[in-house]
Amino acid sequence: NAGVTQTPKFQVLKTGQSMTLQCAQDMNHNSMYWYRQDPGMGLRLIYYSASEGTTDKGEVPNGYNVSRLNKREFSLRLESAAPSQTSVYFCASSVSGGRFGETQYFGPGTRLLVL
Amino acid sequence: GQQVMQIPQYQHVQEGEDFTTYCNSSTTLSNIQWYKQRPGGHPVFLIQLVKSGEVKKQKRLTFQFGEAKKNSSLHITATQTTDVGTYFCAASGNTGKLIFGQGTTLQVKP
């Protein structure tokens, strides 16, 4: 089992460029999440997908879109990158995202620099 | 919305010293989780606490959940260089999503 995989590992963009971050999990989890991590800010939820076919905004959704392509894959798109989106992006998954919270399994992260 | 405050933000200790990080919420939590992130790595689940006053141990790590379920702590006894990293607490919000604290970054001087 690879767990949660993310591509690419690193990316440099110019302001205004677009890109899609890919995430896949092979644990048959229902719920998937996208976080960004900035120094001193912890992990902030961008979007999540409680189950295949559903997506919802998290704490910091502006400037991002997501697609839950199937049960395994959850992508994050930056339509017009801005320097404020320079960050480390983590994808995570959990069994079902139930009411009392569950262990989340994180991917290795994508380090994004927007110039 | 619900917030989880974690202190301190940074802690430098000499190898062999103890270390504690605290997590506080203004609202009652249904449970709390702790994660560790090594430098350059990704968060990895350590433990979950559910019951009021619960104490769990993992070797040199002791996790506590407050009686009122509004705070939690992680204590490391006799730190080692392998303990270096950022420790996050995370609490379940009303919808089941995790809300992470800001993290405590631990540096250990050999």
**Which chain B residues are Cβ-neighbours of A97 within 8 angstroms?**
96-97
Kindly report the average pLDDT of chain B as a whole number. Answer: 93
pLDDT for res A102: 83
In which residue are the tokens 């990704």 written? B42
Mean pLDDT of the B90-104 span: 83
Which of A:83-112 have CB within 8 Å of B? 90, 92, 97-109
More confident residue, B96 or A45: A45
- Which residues of chain A register pLDDT less than 70? 97-101
pLDDT in tens, B23-68: 999 989 888 999 999 999 999 999 999 999 999 999 999 999 999 9
C-alpha A105/C-alpha A53 separation (Å) is: 20
pLDDT for res A97: 64
pLDDT for res B55: 98
C-alpha B71/C-alpha B28 separation (Å) is: 9
pLDDT for res A96: 79
Query: Which of A43, A99, A102 faces B88 most closely, judged by CB atoms?
Result: A43
pLDDT > 70 fraction of chain B, expressed in percent and rounded = 95
Grade residue B93 by pLDDT with cuts at 50, 70 and 90.
low
Are A55 and A66 in contact by the 8 Å Cβ rule? The answer is yes
Mean pLDDT of the B76-80 span: 98
CA atoms within 13 A on the CB side of A89: 32
Q: Does B101 touch chain A (CB under 8 A)?
A: yes
Question: Scanning every residue of chain A, which has its alpha carbon at the shortest distance from the alpha carbon of B30?
Answer: A100
Q: Does B6 touch chain A (CB under 8 A)?
A: yes
pLDDT for res B79: 98
C-alpha A22/C-alpha A66 separation (Å) is: 10
Choose the mutation target among B10, B42, B99 for the interface with A, i.e. most A CBs under 10 Å. Answer: B42
